[in-house]
Chain A
């Protein structure tokens, strides 16, 4: 399943690792509310919560992470039309309509919603939705925020993300001249202008088939471009031990949702002579999605502004 060449341009991005507990959960009312919800959520599945649920598992809320990145990335004079929050592991404030809240904080009061229940592929679906939403006449701005939630109050069959971190990516249907630094150029913001050239999602790919499919897809998408750089998700690299290594960067382990995007930003922004195509590929062994995206970088304008 493929989305053909599009006019969606990554303008800039912001990313951050978050430490410490949620300040919202300092409020006893919020803690009690969250604890009650989580207890009702877990009970039918026989999951045990710590004594006094909500007292010990105080992860950062999605809203806190996203809010910080919006502030760093989107200046007040740049209204956003669409905001998509993508996650795999749920929020520590599970009942909150966080995307609706973020709409209020984000310049432009964008149409906002969350994409989930799809593992790491939710980020790619968010990108796909942004592409589908974008007006072909240009002028649409979309903000895609991916979060890794490290703290849940019950045991999960797969390890928690190593860090609580988030990546926010600002897209437009038209490129910008030069590089706009964003409100916080010295901190979390990565200038990484690039045009999305392809997006493919292959559902229900068996683990035994993923190496062949990923290999053929990457070969086809990089045909005639020996300078193509590739970002592989760590789970795809594990499922494909013989994956190519030349020009390939494997995302670090422990960040299933944000890791490939964090690494993509590194690759897009790497080196003064940066140009040429970049591909990402990732595989979720649980929900069996193989997702690929393609990017054509554009030179960064490094002139003093």
Chain B
């Protein structure tokens, strides 16, 4: 069973109040006020002096459980929201893998599910490991490293109009098949390619269907996992904004205080890294006890839409 053996996150230390984004993004005072008062957003993290490769490296080197286990890593999957982030053939993923002693691993990027790409990467990491020929010694089985990292390098990567603002950041997650903690019980993904902007999709229709579609995929993940919503101790949301999750909680009948929304104010939306940022916050605050079921949700939107959810046992 797919398990998360260890998680690390790197967020740039430099905090930028959302008011400072108004000029560069040509936001009106009203739009900024909407972000702060209605959506619960406060600041983002940025580091103009660090490259994408720097972010990837920072996250991976923070993963202390990786040290000494590099030889077990068969796959490195880079789950990325933005399909193209460097000019061809610049390849920070392979540069960082070589620097980390992971040149022997099969490494590639999974993308085009926007901010849901990280959950896809975890799911596919587990499936790739399961397809590896065995047997493996106890505690010595193959591993996969799931990375995320994004720079706010272009306007579309800096904010979502009327909805959210992006922080730069990165995460690293070590995935195994036999780890004792955070076992994946179920994954569901529903894509809505009809919301493709280049294809002329209606933003209004997307807004109408956003929460029902997210509720639907949460229900599917619970079904796959074989658990009820009542069994879920905590939801780790995507940090798009507070109001979306307040309304979604009401829609699915889940207590609002069991949706971890603190990081919306702290960081805004950190692309694919939200799941891992929120996981560490939950763990650090003791919000999860052994055996607790928790649900991670992500929505990739902007160019088509991908709704995804995972259920884990802590």
- Seen from chain A, the residues whose Cβ lies within 8 Å of a Cβ on chain B are 1-4, 24, 30, 36-37, 40-42, 44-45, 47, 63, 85, 88-91, 93-105, 109, 111-119, 121-122, 125, 128-129, 131-133, 152, 154, 156-158, 201, 203-204, 286-287, 289
Contacts and interface: CB of A to CB of B under 8 A. Distances in A.
A113 B110 contact: yes
Contacts of B155: 36, 40
A204 B84 contact: no
Contact of A104 (B107, B108, B194): B194
Given A40-B155, A91-B83, A104 B198 contact: no
* Chain B residues touching A, range: 35 or more
B131 A96 contact: no
Contact of A115 (B110, B153, B194, B304): B110
Nearest to A109: B191
A42 B111 CA distance: 20
B153 A41 contact: yes
Given A117-B91, A203-B105, A104 B196 contact: yes
Contact of B127 (A99, A102, A133): A133
B127 A117 contact: no
30 contacts: A1-B106, A24-B198, A30-B198, A40-B154, A41-B86, A45-B87, A90-B83, A90-B88, A94-B83, A95-B156, A95-B303, A96-B198, A96-B304, A97-B83, A98-B112, A99-B111, A100-B303, A100-B306, A104-B196, A112-B112, A112-B193, A115-B108, A116-B83, A116-B111, A117-B107, A117-B108, A118-B107, A152-B87, A156-B88, A157-B89
B25 interface: no
A204 B196 contact: no
A289 B153 CA distance: 29
Main SS of the interface on chain A? Answer: mixed
B148 to A, nearest CB: 13
Interface string B72-109: 00100010001111111111011000100001111111
Interface of B: 51, 74, 78, 82-91, 93-94, 98, 103-114, 117, 120, 124, 127-128, 130-131, 133, 153-156, 189, 191-194, 196-199, 300, 302-306
A36 B108 contact: no
B114 A100 contact: yes
Nearest to B192: A104
A100 B113 contact: yes
Minimum-distance CB pairs A-B, first 10? A104-B193, A100-B304, A40-B154, A94-B84, A99-B112, A117-B109, A132-B127, A118-B108, A114-B112, A204-B103
